[in-house]
Amino acid sequence: MKTDVEELGPTRVKLTIEVPFEELKPSLDQAYREVGRQVRVPGFRPGHVPPRVIDQRFGRGVVLEQAVNDAVPKLYGQALTDNEVFALGQPELEITRLDDGQQLAFTAEVDVRPKFQLPGLEGLPVTVDGAEVSPDEVEEYIGRLRERFASLRGVDRPVEQGDYVSIDLSAAAGGKPVEDAQASGVSYEVGSGSMLDGLDEALTGMSAGDSATFTAELAGGGHAGEQAEVTVTVHSVKVKDLPELDDEFAQSASEFDTLGEFRAATRERLATAKQMQQVGQARERAMDALLEQLDLPLPDRLVAEETEAREQDLLQQIERAGTTREGYLEARGITSGDLDEELSRDARRAVKAGFVLDQLAQDEGLEAEQDELNSYVIEQAYRMGVPPDRLAKELIDRGQLGVIQAEVVRAKALTLMAERAAVTDDAGRPVDVKALAETASREAAGAQAAAEAAAGLAGEETAGAETAGAETAGDQAAGAEAGGDEAAGDGAAGDGAAASES
């Protein structure tokens, strides 16, 4: 086989491939077998029709077409490998010559990774947030925990801001009840502003048994956006009682006996969480610093596909949140054009980051080890709430193992990038990213083992509940280990490219 590679641009090439006909013999033999199994010829059993009879009855062209369709993808892949072409996506193929018994020739145009050299990573300056924990942060954390352990107590007085009320709501538009805007026994925190505009004002000063009517715009249902007369009836008024901040609270909220021990442990946990955030920031900001030094040409098609994928993902998130694109834009205070520009910018960064991580992985000879692939699948399975073996089977069935390998390798490249950078916190203190990442990895492995043990002990009837608990532990560890993998995710996101490189 002879291959000529012509550069059509910095990110696109044309391969002209010429194949002697004898190299098509395996595909030709396979084609005769396939056709022989499909046709019915008197005097011959299916699958035992001689090639000469197939040629006489159906024409050799049928067999040649099937043989070429079988051979071209393999020959194209071999040409990529032989010429070290890193293809992105599917090629545009054209058969230019097919001389029976002589030669097959075809061309393939495809996007490719741009050729470039990475600048030196050693000493790349990167600054991350500090990991110090202030007394106020400790108290804020404990305060949120007290809120979770709080109890509600009924009071006999008018409603005030911060009270919790049990209410009925009913709405009428145009003098007619709105059926999908009726609710009974709703628990609501007055002043939270989490329901209808005007509700907090209407409730303030009311007592149990009182009713009031106010005008509000309906937020959902068939009358969304319409003005309606809303009637609210108060059934009960309650206040939140926080537990005393003492040793008894520490014992009920933690494994510690005293409040002092609980505060010290809380400080340590918050410090650990901040250190894991430092690892994530180091990865993300090292990538940003490197990208600023590189001006790479990007394939338009790949950028367009990544932009479309991001837009579709955003629309799905918006739909799950029960809002609309217009509502999302309004909440963020941006225009449709601003969002389009943001998606395009992020897509270009993702594609560029993918090229950088792939190049670093190639330069360093990074590969995905089997245990790393297993860990990745287990982590994703717990995040999704499905058994790891089921997820692994689905990935294999969908042919996604190449994509998973690419993501694992890119994550390793991103970690290596951060470890080689000169990372300091905002006070100028050096940050040992490698040591922090190793700590996170050990914690993730421990949490993962605990999650697997929990899942293994669960019976079939309780497997779902156990997995949910394991998922929480897995998420915490995964968050520590993969913090900042947004950059790796960016790189892998739009480039099923890595999986299609041959």
Given a contact cutoff of 8 angstroms between Cβ atoms, the answer to whether 433 and 421 are in contact is yes
**How sure is the predictor about 453, in pLDDT bands with cuts at 50, 70 and 90?**
low
pLDDT of residue 480: 37
Any idea which of 54-68, 89-103, 360-374, 407-421 has the lowest mean pLDDT? 54-68
pLDDT of residue 481: 39
Question: Does 452 lie in the same domain as 314?
Answer: yes
**Mean predicted confidence (pLDDT) in 449-467:** 45
Could you tell me the residue range of the domain that residue 169 belongs to?
Answer: 151-241
Question: Does 493 lie in the same domain as 356?
Answer: yes
Mean pLDDT taken over the chain: 85
**Mean predicted confidence (pLDDT) in 141-153:** 94
For the record, the structure tokens of 318 come out as: 């918006």
- Tokens 């075809």, residue? 106
pLDDT at 447 over 80: no
pLDDT of residue 445: 62
Higher pLDDT, 282 or 173: 282
Judge whether 71 lies within some domain: yes
The full length of the chain comes to 502
d(CA 53, CA 32): 10
CATH of the domain at 469: 1.10.3120.10
Question: Does 177 lie in the same domain as 97?
Answer: no
**Mean predicted confidence (pLDDT) in 78-102:** 90
**DSSP-derived pairing of the beta strands 125-128 and 103-112:** unpaired
Question: Does 62 lie in the same domain as 161?
Answer: no
**Mean predicted confidence (pLDDT) in 338-367:** 95
Question: Does 276 lie in the same domain as 230?
Answer: no
Judge whether 137 lies within some domain: no
Judge whether 138 lies within some domain: no
Judge whether 133 lies within some domain: no
d(CA 340, CA 334): 10
pLDDT of residue 466: 35
pLDDT at 291 over 90: yes
pLDDT of residue 485: 45
**Mean predicted confidence (pLDDT) in 159-180:** 90
**Is the pTM for the entire model greater than 0.85?**
no
Q: Which helix (H) or strand (E) is 409 found in, with range?
A: helix 401-420
Question: Does 229 lie in the same domain as 294?
Answer: no
pLDDT at 196 over 70: yes
Question: Does 366 lie in the same domain as 303?
Answer: yes
Domain final residue, candidates 241, 260, 283: 241
Total of domains in the chain? 3
Question: Does 292 lie in the same domain as 363?
Answer: yes
pLDDT at 425 over 50: yes
Distances (CA, A) of 440 to 29, 388, 403: 55, 21, 24
pLDDT at 307 over 50: yes
Domain final residue, candidates 241, 263, 281: 241
**How sure is the predictor about 473, in pLDDT bands with cuts at 50, 70 and 90?**
very low
Any idea which of 37-46, 64-73, 338-347, 374-383 has the lowest mean pLDDT? 37-46
Radius of gyration of the chain (CA): 32
Judge whether 17 lies within some domain: yes
d(CA 246, CA 40): 88
Given a contact cutoff of 8 angstroms between Cβ atoms, the answer to whether 210 and 221 are in contact is no
pLDDT of residue 468: 33
d(CA 454, CA 446): 12
240: burial class by Cβ within 10 Å (0-12, 13-18, 19+)?
middle
Question: Does 298 lie in the same domain as 366?
Answer: yes
pLDDT at 463 over 90: no
pLDDT of residue 52: 75
Amino acid at site 475? D
pLDDT of residue 47: 66
pLDDT of residue 280: 94
**Mean predicted confidence (pLDDT) in 106-126:** 93
CATH of the domain at 13: 3.30.70.1050
For the record, the structure tokens of 94 come out as: 């054209």
Judge whether 142 lies within some domain: no
**How sure is the predictor about 460, in pLDDT bands with cuts at 50, 70 and 90?**
very low
Question: Does 176 lie in the same domain as 93?
Answer: no
Span 39-83, pLDDT tens digits:
777 777 676 777 777 677 777 778 888 888 889 999 999 999 999
CA-closest candidate to residue 31, choices 51, 57, 48: 51
Domain final residue, candidates 54, 84, 112: 112
For the record, the structure tokens of 91 come out as: 């090629």
pLDDT of residue 490: 52
The b-or-e profile of 362-388 (16+ CB within 10 A means b, else e) is eeeebebeeebbebbbbbbbbeeeeeb
CA dihedral sign of residues 189, 193, 194, 198 = positive
Span 215-248, pLDDT tens digits:
998 876 777 778 899 999 999 999 999 999 999 9
Any idea which of 291-300, 357-366, 394-403 has the lowest mean pLDDT? 394-403
Judge whether 122 lies within some domain: no
CATH of the domain at 177: 3.10.50.40
Question: Does 380 lie in the same domain as 456?
Answer: yes
Residues of the chain above pLDDT 90, percent: 59
**Mean predicted confidence (pLDDT) in 458-483:** 37
**Mean predicted confidence (pLDDT) in 375-386:** 89
Q: Which helix (H) or strand (E) is 13 found in, with range?
A: strand 12-20
Judge whether 475 lies within some domain: yes
Question: Does 336 lie in the same domain as 427?
Answer: yes
Q: 65-70: which pairs have CB atoms within 8 A and are 24 or more residues apart?
A: 66/31, 66/34, 66/35, 67/24, 67/27, 67/28, 67/30, 67/31, 68/24, 68/27, 68/95, 68/98, 68/104, 70/27, 70/30, 70/31
